[in-house]
Amino acid sequence: MDIGTILTALALVALIEGAMFALAPGGMKRAMLEIIDLPEETLRQVGLVLAALGAAGFCALALLL
């Protein structure tokens, strides 16, 4: 895994985030308002699960490609 792969992954994240705000700004605002009401522990657990899935997927793709 080299720095180019990591930078490519970060660019893809920026592309997806930007596209979501550009294509559905109202939906993103509503999602953020709903997130405010969630308990911190729930957000922490969701964040950990997503981070683990992302890391596993990234490593799997790095091994396959």
Q: What is the mean predicted confidence (pLDDT) over 12-20?
A: 96
Which of 60, 62, 65 lies closest to 6 in space, CA to CA?
62
The pTM assigned to this predicted structure is 0.68
Q: What is the pLDDT of residue 39?
A: 97
Rounded Cα–Cα distance for residues 16 and 10 (Å): 10
Q: What is the mean predicted confidence (pLDDT) over 15-20?
A: 96
Tell me the per-residue pLDDT of 38-49, one tens digit each, with 9 for 90 and over. Answer: 999 999 999 999
Name 29's Cβ contacts closer than 8 Å, sequence gap at least 6. Answer: none
Q: What is the pLDDT of residue 25?
A: 97
User: Residue 59: what are its φ and ψ, rounded to 5°?
Assistant: -65, -40
